[in-house]
């Protein structure tokens, strides 16, 4: 089921210039051009207008501007097999200078790729059922999910089949490869909101409803969330959705976005603006016109927010098996570590590796009698299940090491700040700290206890790196984005300012009070 596009009748004189590139050539066509033309004729042969479409291949130009690219690989729901992980490790080794970053959408990211490498990378990914395509671009991106799906003691039901169904339907689907802008979907029945539902364009969250005297498990649906300079929390539609009807709802919502989303000003082209301007009631009416009436809301089964942190050893839904959450400091790992994780997944676990939206990794299916041996592996000294307080909860975007939009460096800086805080501040609860290098929000600073956004500040010596600080973000019940504090802090003072802020909280918090309520 798909609906005919009706947006083409827009007044062309009002469309933003990006819309013309997309009308000229579908974003997905760039994949063919990369393989058949640019990888053979080299970097200098690529015209500027085609660089704009590289995102559909999962590829961006990176900094420094030396003809290198960053590539993002989709990991639907955050579940990888050991065979896939080995291919990712080898690709990183062959082409990406060994670097592998875990992103806040459960994907992995390479850097330093060259145009000549692309066909081989695409082929080797395809051979193990993986893809970089549409990991970026104005299209449905990687479907984010519960990384513990299928083994989770805190999920209503296994959402793997629905993540897979969405992935099969949307990936490469030319009915939906030209959306007004990026489009983010999550599906999870984890009752602790492990896929960050409120920040997605479209999310399916755990719910139940009594129908004909029977309890039916399914989803509630949120639409119109998103971060960047003007963050919006997603709003709930009045509907209960059986899992087998989730794709129908997704197609309806995506069709509304494709056909009615704004294509005039690009910064205004996200679904969140359409939902905000229409209001949720009108959005509900329009979706009903496309897919028919759905049952009204059932019981919401989300009870809290774990921010996708799973560190440590925990029992799975079946007795005798465990998942082991490992900390990946600021999401950065490498090919050798990925190979070792694949070995551990086969030797101690169920042969899978799971990535989280907190930029960390889990091994699952570890039998009780194998846990100690896994914990004794040398790699678990660095990717530890028992990380220090601040390192365990620090997230960072790519920053100006590789990102063309960044104002400041973030990843290594964030790691150093976490080390500093672990040395100087003792506190008995985790404080989540997120760093972003520009207002785009890839490091999701808005949901952090303390969010830092890179900027510049004028000093007598010239412009220097600085950060705006915001406090008190949370998702799940009581969701709210954090609030900016006044002023801007020079980067060499951020560590001590954060230490004072956290110690102030520690001293004055009341019993049971958490950071976002302080
Ligand atoms: Fe780049 Fe900005 Fe995204 Fe960071 S938040 S990765 S600096 S676009």
H, E, C per residue of 41-52 = HCHHHCCHHHHC
Closest CA to 34 of 48, 25, 46, 19: 46
- Residue 485 Cα, ligand 1 centroid: separation in angstroms? 21
Output the pLDDT for position 402. Answer: 93
d(CA 140, CA 501): 39
Token digits of residue 420: 């500093």
Mutate to test the pocket of ligand 1, among 407, 442, 456 (most ligand atoms within 8 A of CB): 442
The protein residue whose alpha carbon is closest to atom 3 in ligand 1 is 442
Mutate to test the pocket of ligand 1, among 396, 436, 451 (most ligand atoms within 8 A of CB): 436
d(CA 390, CA 166): 36
- Residue 172 Cα, ligand 1 centroid: separation in angstroms? 26
Mutate to test the pocket of ligand 1, among 63, 412, 440, 446 (most ligand atoms within 8 A of CB): 440
Which atom of ligand 1 is the closest one to the Cα of 408? 7
d(CA 180, CA 200): 16
Q: Please report, in tens digits, the pLDDT of each residue of the chain (518 residues total).
A: 556 666 666 788 888 988 988 988 999 999 999 999 999 999 999 998 899 999 999 999 998 888 999 999 999 999 999 999 999 999 999 999 999 999 999 999 999 999 999 999 999 999 999 999 999 999 999 999 999 999 999 999 999 999 999 999 999 999 999 999 999 999 999 999 999 999 999 999 999 999 999 999 999 999 999 998 899 999 999 999 999 999 999 999 999 999 999 999 999 999 999 999 999 999 999 999 999 999 999 999 999 999 999 999 999 999 999 999 999 999 999 999 999 999 999 999 999 999 999 999 999 999 999 999 999 999 999 999 999 999 999 999 999 999 999 999 999 999 999 999 999 999 999 999 999 999 998 999 999 999 999 999 999 989 999 999 999 999 999 999 999 999 999 999 999 999 999 999 999 998 878 888 77
Token digits of residue 492: 């060499």
CA distances from 497 to 276, 287, 421, 438 (A): 36, 48, 10, 20
Token digits of residue 478: 């009581």
E-only strand ranges, 14-107: 59-61, 69-73, 79-81, 99-102
d(CA 107, CA 119): 20
Closest CA to 188 of 167, 209, 208, 158: 158
Say what angle helices 280-291 and 271-278 make with each other, to 10 degrees. 110
pTM: 0.95
Yes or no: say if 404 and 60 are a contact pair by the CB < 8 Å rule.
Answer: yes
CA distances from 54 to 33, 165, 265 (A): 10, 25, 21
User: Active-site residues: which are they?
Assistant: 72, 181-182, 437, 442-443
- Residue 374 Cα, ligand 1 centroid: separation in angstroms? 35
CA distances from 182 to 266, 270, 441 (A): 11, 7, 13
Helix (H) or strand (E) segment spanning residue 127: helix 118-127
DSSP 8-state class, residue 201:
S
Which atom of ligand 1 is the closest one to the Cα of 437? 7
d(CA 258, CA 179): 5
d(CA 75, CA 96): 18
Which atom of ligand 1 is the closest one to the Cα of 398? 6
Output the pLDDT for position 282. Answer: 97
- Residue 284 Cα, ligand 1 centroid: separation in angstroms? 33
- Residue 515 Cα, ligand 1 centroid: separation in angstroms? 26
- Residue 154 Cα, ligand 1 centroid: separation in angstroms? 32
514: Cβ–Cβ under 8 A, 6 or more apart, which residues? Answer: 429, 474
Closest CA to 152 of 160, 163, 162, 144: 160
Yes or no: say if 73 and 135 are a contact pair by the CB < 8 Å rule.
Answer: yes
Which atom of ligand 1 is the closest one to the Cα of 454? 7
The protein residue whose alpha carbon is closest to atom 2 in ligand 1 is 438
Ligand 1 binding pocket (C-beta < 6 A) is 397-399, 403, 405-406, 436-438, 440-443
Which atom of ligand 1 is the closest one to the Cα of 406? 7
b (16+ CB within 10 A) / e for 392-428: bbbbbbbbbbbbeebbbbbbebbbebbbbbbeebeee
d(CA 406, CA 398): 8
């Amino acid at each position: 089921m798909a609906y005919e596009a009706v947006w083409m009748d827009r007044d062309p004189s009002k469309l933003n210039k990006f819309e013309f590139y997309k009308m000229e050539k579908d974003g997905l066509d760039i994949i063919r051009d990369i393989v058949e033309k640019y990888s053979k004729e080299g970097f200098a042969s690529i015209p500027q207008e085609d660089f704009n479409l590289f995102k559909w291949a999962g590829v961006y130009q990176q900094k420094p501007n030396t003809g290198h690219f960053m590539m993002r690989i989709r990991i639907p729901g955050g579940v990888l097999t050991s065979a896939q992980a080995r291919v990712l490790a080898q690709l990183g080794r062959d082409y990406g200078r060994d670097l592998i970053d875990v992103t806040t959408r459960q994907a992995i990211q390479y850097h330093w790729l060259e145009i000549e490498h692309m066909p081989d990378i695409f082929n080797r990914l395809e051979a193990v059922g993986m893809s970089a395509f549409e990991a970026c671009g104005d299209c449905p991106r990687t479907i984010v999910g519960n990384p513990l799906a299928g083994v989770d003691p805190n999920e209503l039901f296994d959402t793997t089949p629905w993540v897979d169904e969405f992935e099969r339907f949307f990936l490469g689907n030319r009915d939906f490869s030209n959306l007004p802008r990026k489009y983010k979907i999550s599906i999870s029945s984890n009752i602790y909101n492990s896929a960050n539902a409120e920040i997605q364009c479209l999310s399916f969250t755990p719910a139940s409803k009594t129908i004909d005297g029977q309890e039916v498990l399914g989803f509630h649906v949120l639409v119109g969330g998103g971060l960047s300079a003007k963050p919006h929390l997603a709003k709930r539609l009045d509907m209960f959705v059986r899992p087998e009807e989730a794709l129908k709802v997704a197609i309806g919502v995506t069709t509304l976005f494709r056909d009615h989303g704004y294509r005039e000003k690009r910064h205004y082209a996200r679904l969140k603006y359409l939902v905000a301007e229409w209001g949720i009631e009108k959005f509900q009416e329009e979706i009903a016109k496309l897919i028919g009436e759905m049952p009204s809301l059932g019981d919401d089964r989300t009870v809290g927010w774990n921010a996708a942190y799973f560190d440590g050893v925990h029992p799975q839904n079946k007795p005798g098996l465990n998942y082991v959450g490992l900390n990946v400091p600021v999401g950065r790992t490498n090919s050798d570590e990925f190979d070792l994780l694949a070995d551990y997944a086969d030797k101690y676990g169920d042969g899978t590796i799971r990535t989280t939206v907190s930029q960390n990794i889990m091994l699952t299916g570890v039998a009780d009698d194998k846990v100690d041996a896994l914990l004794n592996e040398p790699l678990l000294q660095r990717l530890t299940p028992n990380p220090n307080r601040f390192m365990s909860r620090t997230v960072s975007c790519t920053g100006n090491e590789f990102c063309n939009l960044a104002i400041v460096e973030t990843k290594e800086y964030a790691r150093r700040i976490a080390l500093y805080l672990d040395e100087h501040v003792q506190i008995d609860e985790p404080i989540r700290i997120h760093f972003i290098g520009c207002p785009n929000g890839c490091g999701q600073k808005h949901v952090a206890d303390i969010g830092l956004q890179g900027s510049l500040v004028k000093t007598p010596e010239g412009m220097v790196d600085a950060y705006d600080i915001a406090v008190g973000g949370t998702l799940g019940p009581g969701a709210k984005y954090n609030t900016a504090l006044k002023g801007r802090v020079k980067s060499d003072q951020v560590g001590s300012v954060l230490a004072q802020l956290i110690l102030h909280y520690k001293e004055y918090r009341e019993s049971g009070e958490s950071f976002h309520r302080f």
